[in-house]
Amino acid sequence: MSVIHPIILSGGAGSRLWPLSRGLFPKQLLALTSERSLIQETVARTAGDSFGRPFIVCNVEHRFLIAEQMREAGIAPAAIVLEPEGRNTAPAAAVAAILVAAQDPNALMLVMPADHVIRDVGAFHNAIARAEAAAASGHLVAFGIAPDAPETGYGYIRKAGALTSLSGCFSVARFVEKPDAATAASYVASGDYSWNSGMFLFKAAAFLAELERLEPDLLAKCRAAVAAGKQDLDFFRLDAAAFAGARSISIDYAVMERTDKAAVVPVQMGWSDIGSWDSLWNATPHDDDGNALKGDVLQHGARNSYLRSEGPLVAAVGVEDMVVVATADAVLVSRKSASQDVKQIVEKLKAEGRELHNSHRKVFRPWGSYEGIDAGEGFQVKHIVVNPGAKLSLQMHHKRAEHWIVVSGEAQVTCGERVFPLKENESTYIPLGFKHRLENVGAAPLHLIEVQSGSYLGEDDIVRFEDTYGRS
């Protein structure tokens, strides 16, 4: 069999896991069930000789975070493809198929969302092995999860007869939308239905042929987006105008529910899409009282609750079936049974024009990160971390001055015509109107405190003479 190309779809925002998951730092980039992020775990599941290097299709805003997480994981992706805007899974898979088919039309694509959990990786690999022969023969194979409960939050796949000479593979009778509780219970009792995992295995050419037949305009727009796309450092940028014209539609609606080539491989592998705090509680180890605890948490008399802190102490007394999640700038309190409705809070934040739905207090950049500490009339204070060897762009401000104090590490500072070192416990002043730049010339992360003062402190007061990679 040929090498299988992992296609990692990383376009979701994970709004039901707010306040941890946000627009600029969504759930697939978070370490929720292990020390690695969900996208790192997803890529790690396809390590080995049977798999090629992964193609990652992601939001343009997440490119540097994903590139850094791949570097941390020791993974060199075949491509990180940047979507100028989200258009759902069918266009994302289409551009990946176009890129894969350019190398080998008969290549197999394993399409996976970046934010799922699979506990039994061995069972997953066995399912891939069963699906491989079916995909090689032209079937579009969906992975169905053997249900252990009548879930109403998932779509279902009803299997039909077994495929001839393909053990463990079945033709598809139909795809079913999320059912009500009674219907879901009847599906589970019948033994003919699986949860729809949203993961697929097929030939690039077979998928493109079905798109050509069923969604020709979508495919044409995706081909144009790839043809006019450009390489940018480690990324491939799709053409924005062409990609925006592609219909926003899922793989299921665009192809799988309409093709006569659909097949399903049922598998039990400890799968979860981590679609809510309730599902994350289910996927997390519990104490003797059924509590999942993470971070600085104290509890007394709590039962069956998810309690997590990313900063301040969370103290919970006598709560039951609750979710309490604290970050540096927000606290969520919800019943587990209502955790699907957290998205409604996110929609209210958007409607009120508040950035809490989109960004954390700590903001990541290609060179490191910064976190707001304090702010008031005419001033703000930030904790800046610059990675070893990294530097900020050469820039200038018209309406503010800056004071830099090195807490640890070794900096090289450009201020006007001067270039000089700045070490631990040393400080410098950047006057208004001076070109300046900060660079980490040490082997360890550079930590400093920046105090800004002036009549205006917004981002649009920054005049950049180079980008964050030092290019003019």
State residue 81 phi and psi, 5-degree precision.
-95, 130
Q: Are residues 341 and 255 part of one domain?
A: no
Residue 429 CA to residue 452 CA, distance in Å, equals 10
We report the CATH number of the domain holding residue 220 as 3.90.550.10
Q: Are residues 214 and 148 part of one domain?
A: yes
Residue 95: domain span: 4-272
> Is 79 a member of any domain?
yes
We report the CATH number of the domain holding residue 390 as 2.60.120.10
Q: Are residues 283 and 260 part of one domain?
A: no
Contacts of 191 (CB under 8 A, 6+ apart): none
- Picking from 408, 435, 404, the residue whose alpha carbon sits closest to that of residue 419 is 435
Q: Are residues 319 and 367 part of one domain?
A: no
> Is 470 a member of any domain?
no
Final residue in a domain of this structure, among 252, 272, 292: 272
Q: Are residues 305 and 257 part of one domain?
A: no
Q: Are residues 151 and 52 part of one domain?
A: yes
Q: Are residues 292 and 264 part of one domain?
A: no
> Is 352 a member of any domain?
no
Final residue in a domain of this structure, among 347, 374, 409: 347
Q: Are residues 159 and 19 part of one domain?
A: yes
Q: Are residues 374 and 337 part of one domain?
A: no
pLDDT tens by residue, the chain, 472 residues: 578 999 999 988 889 999 999 999 999 999 999 999 999 999 999 998 999 999 999 999 999 899 989 999 999 999 999 999 999 999 999 999 999 999 998 899 999 999 999 999 999 999 999 999 999 999 999 999 999 889 888 899 999 999 988 889 999 999 998 899 999 999 999 999 999 999 999 999 999 999 999 999 999 999 999 999 999 888 999 999 999 999 999 999 999 999 999 999 999 999 999 989 999 999 999 999 999 999 999 999 999 999 999 999 999 999 999 999 999 999 999 999 999 899 999 999 999 998 899 888 888 888 999 998 998 999 999 999 999 999 998 999 999 999 999 999 999 999 999 999 999 999 999 999 999 999 999 999 999 999 999 998 877 678 877 655 444 3
Cβ–Cβ under 8 Å, residues 437 and 404: no
> Is 469 a member of any domain?
no
Q: Are residues 404 and 432 part of one domain?
A: yes
Q: Are residues 212 and 74 part of one domain?
A: yes
- How many independent structural domains does the chain possess? 3
Residue 175 CA to residue 309 CA, distance in Å, equals 39
Residue 87 CA to residue 130 CA, distance in Å, equals 31
Do the strands 314-317 and 411-415 form a parallel or antiparallel pair, or are they unpaired? unpaired
Q: Are residues 105 and 184 part of one domain?
A: yes
- Picking from 250, 230, 249, 248, the residue whose alpha carbon sits closest to that of residue 240 is 230
